[in-house]
Amino acid sequence: MPVMNIIEAINNALHIAFETDDRVIAFGEDVGFFGGVFRATVGLQEKYGVERCFDTPISELGIMGFAMGCAQMGLKPIPEIQFADYIFPGYDQIVNEIAKGRYRTGNQWSNGMVIRTPYGGGIHGGHYHSQSIEAQFLHTPGLKVVIPSDPYEAKGLLLSCIRADDPILFMEPKRIYRASKAEVPLEDYMIPLGKAKIAKEGNDLTLIGYGAQHHQNMTAAAEAEKMGISVEVIDLRTLNPLDIETITASVKKTGRCVVAHEAPITGGFGGELTALIQQRCFLHLEAPINRCCGFDTPYSNAHEKRYLPDSPRVLISILETMKY
């Protein structure tokens, strides 16, 4: 199998989707002729034509409204929002129209689409290119949220999203776009949505994360192992639908849990995970559930390294939880 980075795996998945389903189209700012600012859509316009892969004006509101119209006409749109930070002009269309399509139309229109967008920090992009906005969309019924952590996961999850019949926000951790590499089959394959992955088994503590944060968690778990602490690491893959069964089984086994994500701690998805785990595992817990997250400040270039919950910060949270 060839070794790919996440960009290459996403591009490979898109080519497969275009080849196997002529309803699939892709569009966004610089998506067509240039192949995307991160090069994820390279070759699509050249191979499949400007009717199926094309550039749009700089209007996220227009991109999302157009995507909804395409979906309702039977196409499978894959609109790209160039950076997750730019998604908010299209927020009304996504939250009030696209996500609620099934409900509003009595299940006649599902608005099935995949909204691709790079997200997260670690590339010195400042506050307009570094935010983690997943929690704001997880509060929206009718919208699925998927975040891969490596190339193999990215391809399989993206193909599953494209073939689903619901609107899905596919958030791509750009910090590891090219840093994460893995063997990826060239053939068509899918990873089911709503199924988390136990990336490392352990007995003393459960460590939960997703996207680029998963790699920091794995490094922290390896360091904890040297100290005699056995950490079980869970990569969520999909935040909605959430695999609460895998999480619950792990925490009941270990009795301790740390949740880590880049987004600010207040109102972050870690708070929801903490509540769900506490509700289901209360009698099994040996310590309070700990969160290792971003700070409640705008994202700062100057303090990026201190802002991100890197592996040393995660390790501190692990040790605090073990000492309780």
On the 0-12 / 13-18 / 19+ scale of CB atoms within 10 A, 305 is exposed
- How far apart are the C-alpha atoms of 95 and 91, rounded to whole Å? 6
Beta-carbon contacts of 104 under 8 Å, excluding residues fewer than 6 positions away, are none
Q: Output 305 or 47, whichever has higher pLDDT.
A: 47
Residue spans of the domains in the chain: they are: 3-183, 197-323
**pLDDT score of 35 more than 90:** yes
Beta-carbon contacts of 44 under 8 Å, excluding residues fewer than 6 positions away, are 14, 15, 18, 26, 32, 35, 52, 53
Q: What is the DSSP string of 44-72?
A: HHHHH-TTTEEE--S-HHHHHHHHHHHHH
Mean pLDDT of 240-258: 98
The half-sphere exposure of 179 on its side-chain side, counting CA atoms within 13 A, is: 13
Instruction: State phi, psi for 172 to the nearest 5 degrees.
Output: -105, 120
CATH for the stretch 197-323: 3.40.50.920
Mean pLDDT of 99-104: 93
Q: What is the DSSP string of 282-302?
A: GGG-SS--EEEEE-SS---ST
Structure tokens, 65: 């409204």
Contact 83, 117 (CB under 8 A): yes
Record the pTM.
Answer: 0.97
Which pLDDT belongs to residue 299? 83
Which residue out of 15, 127, 129, 303 is catalytically annotated? 129
Structure tokens, 165: 């019949």
**pLDDT score of 124 more than 90:** no
**pLDDT score of 205 more than 80:** yes
Mean pLDDT of 256-269: 97
**pLDDT score of 25 more than 90:** yes
- How far apart are the C-alpha atoms of 316 and 224, rounded to whole Å? 10
Which pLDDT belongs to residue 66? 98
User: Strand 205-209 to strand 257-264: parallel, antiparallel, or no bridges (unpaired)?
Assistant: parallel
129 carries an active-site annotation: yes
Which of 179, 122, 131 shows the shortest CA–CA distance to 151? 179
Mean pLDDT of 6-22: 98
Which pLDDT belongs to residue 56? 98
Which pLDDT belongs to residue 127? 81
CA 203 to chain centre: 27
Which of 232, 162, 233 shows the shortest CA–CA distance to 191? 162
- pLDDT per position as a tens digit, 127-184: 889 999 999 999 999 999 999 999 999 999 999 999 999 999 999 999 999 999 999 9
Which pLDDT belongs to residue 303? 80
Instruction: State phi, psi for 210 to the nearest 5 degrees.
Output: -165, 165
Confidence of residue 12 (pLDDT cuts 50, 70, 90): very high
**pLDDT score of 300 more than 80:** no
User: Strand 3-5 to strand 53-55: parallel, antiparallel, or no bridges (unpaired)?
Assistant: unpaired
**pLDDT score of 309 more than 90:** yes
CATH for the stretch 3-183: 3.40.50.970
Long-range CB contacts (< 8 A, 24+ apart) of 304-307? Answer: 304/121, 304/122, 304/124, 304/130, 307/121
Average pLDDT, the chain: 96
Say which DSSP state 121 is in: S
Confidence of residue 113 (pLDDT cuts 50, 70, 90): very high
Contact 192, 21 (CB under 8 A): no
